[in-house]
Amino acid sequence: MAFQQDYILRMIEMMGDLIAAILGLIKKGEYEVASRSIEHAFNSFLNEDASFFNRIPKEKLTDSLLKEHNYTNGHLEILSELFFAQGELLDAQGKSSESRLFYEKSLILLDYAIRESKTFSFDKEKKISVLKDKIQSTGGNSGTE
């Protein structure tokens, strides 16, 4: 069990570096490369393509992934980061309403992972705040209903 937890923690750290690189590509306007990097990350870290996760309605996201697919909180955090990157890519391309759904899914997953871990993290709380701001700025409600 400890080995699996260490492995998930290493994956989360690697994901942070990858997301930073993807956000750099988006900032430079290299949307196609960023999109391919996101898709590759889905396959590498979660063994599914992005469309698999995109099809799951936000209201069923945590239940579906935890119960039907046996994902852990670590997997949910990784998926939250990937949804955030997708939201950033779509937002940079001027697709606000599409990006909002990814920000909302990212927020739902991160909020759930934080509640379940029962530990406080300034970084995660800051990310929650950023996600709520992104949702609001794209015309949505920042609640985590």
Report yes or no on 142 lying in a domain. Answer: no
Enter the tokens of residue 19: 């997301």
Q: Please give the Cα distance from 126 to 16 (Å, whole number).
A: 14
In a domain, 75, yes or no: yes
- CB environment 11-40: b (16+ within 10 A), e (fewer): beeebeebbeebbebbeeeeeeebbebbee
Question: Could you read off the pLDDT of 40-86 as tens digits, one per residue?
Answer: 999 988 999 999 999 999 999 999 998 888 888 888 999 999 999 99
Residue at 143 is within a domain: no
Domain-embedded: residue 72:
yes
* Domain presence at residue 145: no
* Of 130, 95, 117, 98, residue with least CA distance to 19: 130
79-132 confidence digits (pLDDT tens): 999 999 999 999 999 999 999 999 999 999 999 998 888 777 888 889 999 999
Say how many domains are in the chain.
1
Alpha helices by DSSP H, listed for the chain, are: 2-27, 31-46, 50-54, 61-63, 73-92, 96-117, 122-137
Alpha carbon 59 to chain centroid, angstroms: 15
Neighbours of 73 (CB within 10 A): 17
For residue 58, which of 135, 137, 136, 139 has the smallest C-alpha distance? 135
pLDDT at 145: 41
Q: Single out the residue of 31, 141, 4 nearest to residue 86, CA to CA.
A: 31
Which residue range(s) make up the domain with 101?
Answer: 2-137
